[in-house]
Amino acid sequence: MARRNPIHLNRLLAGLSARDRALLAPDLAPAELALRQVLEAPGKAISTIYFIEHGIASVVAGDPGRDIEVGIIGREGMTGAAILLGNRSSPLSTYMQIAGAGQRIRTPALRRALRQSPSLHAAFLKYVPVFLTQTAHTALVNGRFRLDARLARWLLMAHDRMDGRRLPLTHEFLGVMLGVGRPIVTVTLSALERQGLIKVERGSITLLDRRGIRAIAGRSYAGPEPALRRQRR
């Protein structure tokens, strides 16, 4: 009896042809993704690729203690972009910022599938420029926009990849994401809370007024992000 293809919540997997999904199916396995779980480490061979279905992974650059986020990955994408480009490792760190779950595949199995199916390789490669656009825009935003706009943009991006309005985030993590100290994060969050845009609780932030947060973010919330938001509707 033929194995049925599961319904994938990850958009890359869900968008594949039936043939390509069937090619991957025997090697895909469910994965629980814990908070702070390292998915890729700088310079280390990538052994496993993850297709996130719930939660968010941060792609981070910098030295320990001076990290700054350059991109995020949710259910719209995948880790292991370096593998798609023929490399063994990445110079960046990727770890779970919001715990979740997804599908995983070992790198040798993915390489084998990519060799067997040019259409599969092409489908995954389409994600690479989308992610690179996000990272390039993040660099632009970090250099040109005020902290409140950068924080508002990040909250919108996280919300786009999550169900519901509650985001399980700590001030410490937001500091890493924005490249600033925790006290500055606290002050900026308090300002948004006083405007009635968010509710801050221990270990979480709830979005109360997305339209108002969007206004704070302004042109910083651009690139592929608004299109990703429209896909949710």
pLDDT at 171: 81
Q: Tally the domains of the chain.
A: 2
Q: What is the mean pLDDT of residues 175-191?
A: 84
d(CA 95, CA 143): 24
Co-location of 181 and 224 in the same domain:
yes
CA 98 and chain centroid, separation: 10
Co-location of 44 and 157 in the same domain:
no
DSSP strands (E only) in 121-233? 166-167, 198-201, 204-207
Name the residue with higher pLDDT: 2 or 222: 222
Q: What is the mean pLDDT of residues 4-33?
A: 88
* pLDDT at 193 > cutoff 50: yes
Instruction: Match 């997305």 to its residue by tokens.
Output: 210
Domain that holds residue 45: 11-137
pLDDT bin (cut points 50, 70, 90) of residue 5 is: very low
Q: What is the mean pLDDT of residues 109-113?
A: 97
**Identity of residue 205:** I
Per residue in 131-168, pLDDT tens?
998 988 888 888 889 999 999 999 999 999 988 899 99
Q: What is the value of pTM for the model shown?
A: 0.89
* pLDDT at 230 > cutoff 80: no
pLDDT at 4: 44
Instruction: Match 């100290």 to its residue by tokens.
Output: 181
Co-location of 66 and 38 in the same domain:
yes
**Identity of residue 132:** L
**Identity of residue 204:** S
Q: Do the Cβ atoms of 36 and 96 come closer than 8 Å?
A: yes
Name the residue with higher pLDDT: 8 or 64: 8
CATH number of the domain where residue 222 is located: 1.10.10.10
Instruction: Choose the final residue of a domain: 90, 111, 137.
Output: 137
Residue 89 corresponds to which tokens in the numbers above? 């490792």
**Identity of residue 41:** A
Between helix 210-217 and helix 147-160 the angle, nearest 10°, is: 130
* pLDDT at 1 > cutoff 50: no
Residues in the chain: 233
pLDDT at 177: 75
Co-location of 166 and 75 in the same domain:
no
Co-location of 18 and 115 in the same domain:
yes
Whether residue 163 lies inside any domain: the answer is yes
Co-location of 102 and 182 in the same domain:
no
